[in-house]
Structure 1
Amino acid sequence: MNNQQQQHKKTMDRVQKGLDRRYRQERHFKWLGLGAIMLGLVFVSFLFITIISNGYTAFQQTYVKLDVFYDPEMIAPIGETDPELLSRANYGGLIKASMRQMFPDVTNRREKKVLYGLISSGATYEIRDAVMNNPELIGTKQEVWVVADDDFDMLIKGHIDLRLPESDRRIKDNQLAWIHDLQEQDRVEKRFNTTFFTAGDSREPELSGIKGAAYGSFFTLLICLTLAFPVGVAAAVYLEEFAPKNRWTDIIEVNINNLAAVPSIVFGLLGLAVFINFFGLPRSVPLVGGLVLALMTLPTIIIASRAALKSVPPSIREAALGVGASPMQTITHHVVPLALPGMLTGTIIGMAQALGETAPLLMIGMVAFIVDVPGSVMDPSAVLPVQIYLWADSPERAFVERTSAAIMILLAFLISMNLLAVWLRKKFERRW
């Protein structure tokens, strides 16, 4: 009896040691997982903090107040106010005259050129538009707020290190003195940068905006959704509900799963070879971009739609067939409506993936510098990711903040689309 008790005790000791070791390993694995999650959150937080700290200043723009005399001799020397003549007047001369009046001590030609450079070239168009809209301004003197040059703007926002020697700064000492005088006269202020949301691309950072790229992204995603959603849902319904289970359908399923993992640039090469070289469609238009992104998004939509169809209980199909519904009526009236929330969720996630794609669009020429805002799917345009790519390649410091600001806008769209997908799933999901 004692031997049995001792043997039992030894067995329980070994079991307890094994349990202690297993629990210890489970605790280690738990802390390892939590550590990995925390490390990921730290990196993501660092990424967001870096982007926001670099980009939030792009939502403000520096303006300078000028006393502009709308000289009739420079605008309408013969008293003619024909719009075509007014559009060709020397409005840049009005700005230069105003600057010379504020700084009469600047007489050197080279210094004058530097002085004029404090004002953006876009100010000329602002003055022109004001005169075109109200010709009665001719002959009057008005206080006008115009956009400052990008280096001026960067100085006001604190992005230029004044401790550096003059040779290493884009702002020179004489410009610093002039800017200080303007600030002393309350002629400098920062305003909300509406240009960033209402203008297309530009070589001048202070005049560039995301409107053209945003419209291009909208038209591209519209084409992508119009083609990918019905085709993807129809393919999923056929494969899941009607296709016979044989070797050919197995091959199709394997290829769909493989296409979901194909690098996106391959779809760009396909679009370049088929849609542009073979069919002769124009480069850099949302139509071709939407076609390419539709091909790229189709596997994601098909896989998500099939998963949604599988989640519908067989009893729904059996009940519909039992009351006399045809197989097609069963699918269209009962199965697909119940699976639609999952299909929409997969589609939105696929659209979010398409919104952030750059590589396939670079292959079809949507990397071109395009100033005009597109008005249709056949107008040349850029998209937000490509616009970010173009700005990131520019050397000016002002484009750095606009790059980060555009990334913030793109991330806001992506997060919104993912939140919409989560909301749709929670709202329409049924538990069986």
Structure 2
Amino acid sequence: MGGRRRGPLDRLSRPARPAREYDVLRRHQMLRVRGRSVAWVPPLVMLVAIAVIDFNTAGEFRMISWVVLVPGIAAAICGVWGTAAFAVLALVTYFVADTSYPSRYASALPDFILVALGGILAVLACAVRVRGERHMLHMRDVAETTRRTVLRPLPPDWGGLDHAAVHLASDVEARVGGDFYDVQQGLHGTRVLVGDVQGKGLDAVEAAAALLGTFREAAYHEELGTVAERLELRMLRHSRHLAALGRDDGDRFATAVLIGFPDADDEQDVVDVVVFGHDPPLVVGPGGVRHLPAGDGLPLGLGELSDDGPPPVRRVPLALTETLLITTDGVTEARDAEGRFYPLADEVAAAVAADPLTAEPRRLVAHVRDGTLRHSGGRLADDTTVFAVRRSLPGTGRKGRSPS
């Protein structure tokens, strides 16, 4: 995205973090001031406080054995070496404070052993914690890399299109689900693919990655009808490969919408659409909301059930001020506490009537995302993708081709 300033939509489109990962990152941020770690401050303050209180109390009330708590606190927020340092410092403080008292007030040997054993256990506990956090953060990086590979970042005005997207995976540990989308420039115009693989989890991610790989290659070279044929064939080959491996998800399929934006000067007010069993896109503009024809195509992977081949390519009018809105099951099947589905078309129509600028892709995506989460109470039963796209208005976008 270059140096573009991040806005509210960038924060919305980030995948939700698991609670444990969020707690770890939040704790790391809280324990840094101006980029420097201050995790050593709480255990040091506690150690000094215990020593001062013990020195200023009567001999009958000995508090110095409480230093066993110091390495325990360090184990929760410091590194292994920091915890070890506090374990040694606590033991030294205990020994100095204890020997400074008359013999009749001195603590017994068991207290000394308790402080020493507490320090050792604290160091071991810290080592386990640090190792677990490093593994978790490493897995976060792996998942984030997978997400960027499947749902690659799209530059603004890519292919002469103004677009915006929000993707929320129901599997927050995987951080990416079976929903997929991409924009590909090509020799015959710019193509858009949005779809939803049946099922959830990493198996659905695998199928989505296979379809996106085929789309990125075929959409650059081929006519839109040929791209549709290649996608159907890729899904069949993927299913047969899984069946040959003995995996029980070999019958997986995917619904999708394939859109072509022709680049000829006399075709700037039309788009070509192929619908593979997906809900048809909504056309959102200052004049209101309308549905595109649903079509009768089967989902990708089920083409063998029909003798007609892939769904036909339909050409439909689309004004420059109109936006195509495509959503997946996470939106259309979102239910409230009473089991009612999210009224997507009605909500968008009301928003556009109140403010025609809502039809802009970024505002439209943010509105649908917020409305879906509000309607479902933040509980997403399925992967959720909201994708909005239209041609860049004259003077605001850049057109060009790139073999990316």
| TM-score (normalizing by structure 2) | 0.22
Larger helix proportion, structure 1 or 2? 1
Query: Comparing both chains, which one has the higher relative contact order based on Cα–Cα distances under 8 Å and sequence gaps of 6 or more?
Result: 1
| TM-score (normalizing by structure 1) | 0.21
Larger strand proportion, structure 1 or 2? 2
